[in-house]
Amino acid sequence: MDSEWFLYMIEYAGGRVYTGITTDVDRRFEEHSEGGAKGAKALRGKGPLKLVFQQPMDNRSTASIAESAIKKLSKQQKLLLIAKGQYEVTDH
């Protein structure tokens, strides 16, 4: 059985935005917030962290493709996406 995958975004120091995917947003955010080995190196010591976006995705593949696309966006584009509250999945 496939787990449900989520796309999420965390705002950290200086208004920067980290994007990731997971099957459990609350657990993953906690791992990032604790700053331990399970959290992303990019977020260590960059707190406070704020979960600013999450969206269920169809599967891991779709989530990974969306994550990659978002990571290529400018800061302004990411902030617009957060404000919109919805990532539009497109078939390329």
Closest CA to 70 of 29, 31, 18: 18
Kindly list the structural domains of the chain, giving each domain's residue range(s) and its CATH number in brackets, ordered by start.
Answer: 5-84 (3.40.1440.10)
Report cis status (omega within 30 of 0) of the bond before 48. yes
pTM of the complete model:
0.90
Q: How is residue 56 written in tokens?
A: 């269920």
pLDDT above 70 for 77? yes
| Residue range 12-52, pLDDT digits in tens | 988 999 999 999 999 999 999 988 889 888 898 888 999 99
Average confidence score pLDDT of the chain: 91
Residues in the chain: 92
Sign of CA dihedral 65, 68, 72, 74: positive
